[in-house]
Structures are given as structure tokens and as C-alpha cells.
Amino acid sequence: MRHPEILLRERSALLVVDIQEKLVPTLPRYPEIEPNVQRLIRVAGILRVPIVVTEQYPKGLGTTLASIREALPAYQPVVKNTFSCCGSPEVVPALRQSRAEAVVLVGMEAHVCVQQTALDLMANGFRVHVPADAVVSRRKLDWEVALRRMERAGAILTTSQSVIFELLVEAGTPEFKAVLPLMK
């Protein structure tokens, strides 16, 4: 028996929140998280973990950053205007259809769209895992407070590597061998 907080790939999904062309330049710490987000996307693709991508008002904020789009197995963003991804009529049904019980939440900004999404996902019965090294805000204080608030509300704070190794479960498998080069 596994602890209920451990991610199981057949019951998990990755939600990539608003990593968009015109937002990225306003976030000085974004380059720190980009490799972690790319790695999580690639691993999710290898392990067949469903991925949902959102874009906040792309007409004004641009589309998903090219480097993130390139990592995705498929690019079919959910366009939204609400800060919470759950405000879109497509997100929660897509997660439920994927049979996800846990959602790994990455993207921007931690104190706005990520935080509101985390709270709403938990209200909808999902376990939420937030890798602290895969979410970002413009200001460090906003990021720190958002992480604390999400954790107090029940989100599981983690790191991108912890997520990856939980989804892998064991070494020596074909999936592990496929993922290993991404970990270097």
C-alpha cells in the first residue's frame, strides 16, 4: 500500500498554467523554473500522464512560450479569462475524463492563477501537488506567501524531481531509462 499523497501516474495529470510570451519577460525568476517545467512536461509525455495547458487571454498576453510548446506532446491550450483555471468550463471535465485524482500544478503566477487554481481544484476534490521549483511570481514575497497559503489549504508542496521519481516508482524499467537522460 502506498501513502495517499504519493503520485500514481495512472491517477495523475499535469496542469501547465499560463506560461505565455508576454508574461515571461515580466518574471525575472522565470529562467530558474523553465528547465523544471520542460522536464515535467517531457516526463509526463513519456509516462502518458495527461497534460492540460491553459492560456490567460492570449490575444493580449500571447500564446504559450515556444520552448514550452516544443516540449508538449500535443498543443491544444484551453483559453481562459478567469484567473482560476477551474473557471474555464473545460478544465475540470478534462481532468475528470483523464481519471486524475491528483493534479501537478506548474506555471505562473504562483500568487494569482496558480494559487486560485490550486484552491479550486481542492474544492473540486483533487489532490494538488505544487512543485515549488516549477511555479513563479514576479516578486519573491508573492511566491513565498502563495506557497504557504496553498500548503495551509491542503496542497502538497514538493519539487519537480520528487514528482518525477514518484511517477516513475522504480528504477530499471524502460520508462526509467527513457527519463534518465532528462534528469542530467
The answer to whether residues 30 and 134 touch, using CB atoms and an 8 Å cutoff, is no
Distance CA 57, CA 140 (A): 24
Distance CA 136, CA 5 (A): 23
DSSP 105-121: EEEE-IIIIIHHHHHHH
> Could you tell me where the beta strands, DSSP code E, fall in 35-138?
51-56, 78-80, 102-108, 127-131, 135-136
At 94, which helix (H) or strand (E)?
helix 91-97
Distance CA 58, CA 180 (A): 34
Known catalytic residues? 18, 80, 113
